[in-house]
Chain A
Amino acid sequence: MPDATRSGEVRSSAAESAAARPVPFRGGGFAPRRVLYVGPVVFIVLIALIEIGTQTGVISNLVLPSPSAVFWTFVELYQSGMLWKHLLPSLERLIVGGAMGAAAGVAVGVMIGLFSLVRAGLVPLVAAIFPIPKIALLPLFVIWFGIDEGSKYALIAFGTFTPTVVATYGGVDNVDRSLIRMGQSFGLAWWSIVRKIVLPGALPAILSGLRVSLAIAIILLVAAEMLGAEFGVGAYILEAGALYDLERLFAGVTILSILGVTLSWLIGRLERQLLAWRT
């Protein structure tokens, strides 16, 4: 009883006293949310600044080509029909090489995650392969897989393989063990546990790993087209670079950027669809 009456007194006296002030807010933040339009605006502002700079002469043509000139080069490329002639072989290399590398990476990553013996044997090997600049191995790949498409697929596949492996076994390691125990306690077959519990549980990590490895695949596309490629976005860029044709160089680089943004967007859609169960 005395507790209750005292709290009433405290309240009235606090309101009267001059020292009463609201508790400062210190929560909030640390929660990413979707902000529309800001991404495109950053692009537009940056390009507009460069355009103004090159038009007024603040930025020399030797340093950066004007975005409008790059745009017209691109239009020209499109109208001449050469855009598809360069883009299609590149896309094919990217898809075939990237798919081979990612598929092998997921398979090996799952094996490492599931079997201690495979982990003991392959984790050091993957760590040894990861930092090798795959570009340095291109001459070797040409000898192994031929100067045609084989070496290009191999280079891109090899480059996407290692980051996918690392992301996948990390994902498998992080699958909630209590869910696996649950599967075992209900007598689920080993393969059912892998398929219905381990793989879906590792999927978020696999998809975010795919973001990294597909970007690496685009980087390696240019490297792959250094040797023995007449057509391809990489070949186009390298040729423009050799001639110091900055407009064409930038037109080519822009294609790669658009490719990167498109792939990232596709994975984002895939994530929203496949991972809708996440809280």
Chain B
Amino acid sequence: MDLYLDGITHSYGDTDVLRDVTLQIPQGMVVCLVGPSGCGKSTLLRFIGGLEQPGGGQVLQVGAPPADSLNPLTYVFQHFALLPWRTVEGNVSLVLEDHDLPRERVQRIVADVLARTRLSDFRKALPKQLSGGMKQRVALARALAVNPAVMLMDEPLSALDSQTRELLMDDLVGLWTRQPFTAVYVTHNLVEAVRLGHRIVVLSRRPGRIREVVEVERPLGERGRGDPELERIQHHLWQAMRDEALAADQELVDA
């Protein structure tokens, strides 16, 4: 299933947030949205998953999601959004409970996604016992459990320290390599964008418009730190964003 954003335009009151964003999200591809703070990239992600409605334009699903997908458009949130009163496996099974699945199927899915995110030993732990990186892996396991057609990731690594972020990037690359998924990945971090994105969409500052689309040809599994090709792309992205970011920083929030 592909996604097609058709002329998304939105404003909060008098403030234009997004203007005429048209974008194709093909199956099996990780599309990164980058842009200065306040450019509406998280808002755009909420439109894509149907948590908010745009003022103009529409988000289209092209083709049907796989039949066994329980929740085609699935989010991974910046602050994990785990229920603190449920264990690791309880948090994963939460999203399966409303689907009338037989018991053993639920157990099989939970065991499978916890194994894929290396959490099998922590299934009975409560979120308060987990490190930030583990919490985000639980959220990732929960997202994988519903077999999404598209993962909508809203700054998933931004609440983590840089070492943990590095480890989780490897985890994400590993997950994608073993079983390619489609994702829209919102980030302000250009390192993440060049490591994880097949296609990087640069948005301008408010009102957000597509400034540039950069394709990264190198396969995810072959990208490493200090790769000169990636460094070059990252440098290019930063040049494109620098003035926008500077200008965005000078704006009053309520202007």
B128 and A182 contact, CB distance less than 8 A: no
A184 and B71 contact, CB distance less than 8 A: no
CA distance A200 to B73 in the complex (A): 26
A185 and B98 contact, CB distance less than 8 A: no
Question: Taking the nearest CB of chain A, how far is it from the CB of B83, in angstroms?
Answer: 6
Interface size classification for chain B: 20 to 34
| Chain B residues positioned under 8 Å from A181 (CB to CB) | 51, 77, 81
SS class, residues of chain A in contact with chain B? helix
A200 and B51 contact, CB distance less than 8 A: no
Instruction: Given the known inter-chain contacts A277-B126, A277-B128, A279-B128, please indicate yes or no for A188 contacting B98, CB distance below 8 A.
Output: yes
Is the CB of A104 closer than 8 A to any CB of chain B? no
| A274, closest chain B residue (CB) | B85
CA distance A185 to B244 in the complex (A): 31
**Complex interface bits, B94-125 against A, C-beta within 8 A gives 1, otherwise 0:** 11011000000000000000000000000000
Of the residues B51, B75, B85, B98, contact of A189 by C-beta under 8 Å: B98
Q: For the complex of A and B, list the 3 residue pairs with the smallest distance between their C-beta atoms, beginning with the closest.
A: A182-B81, A277-B85, A186-B95
Residues of B at the A interface (CB closer than 8 Å) are: 49, 51, 70-71, 73-75, 77, 79, 81, 83-86, 94-95, 97-98, 126-128, 142, 146
| A277, closest chain B residue (CB) | B85
| Chain A residues positioned under 8 Å from B71 (CB to CB) | 185-187
Most B C-beta atoms less than 10 A away, residue of A179, A185, A189, A196: A185
Residues of A at the B interface (CB closer than 8 Å) are: 178-179, 181-182, 184-189, 192, 196-197, 200, 276-279
| Chain A residues positioned under 8 Å from B74 (CB to CB) | 185-186
B77 and A182 contact, CB distance less than 8 A: yes
Most A C-beta atoms less than 10 A away, residue of B94, B127, B128, B146: B94
B94 and A196 contact, CB distance less than 8 A: yes
CA distance A278 to B127 in the complex (A): 10
A186 and B146 contact, CB distance less than 8 A: yes
CA distance A196 to B51 in the complex (A): 20
Of the residues B49, B83, B128, contact of A179 by C-beta under 8 Å: B83
CA distance A177 to B128 in the complex (A): 19
| Chain A residues positioned under 8 Å from B128 (CB to CB) | 277-279
Of the residues A184, A185, A200, contact of B85 by C-beta under 8 Å: A200
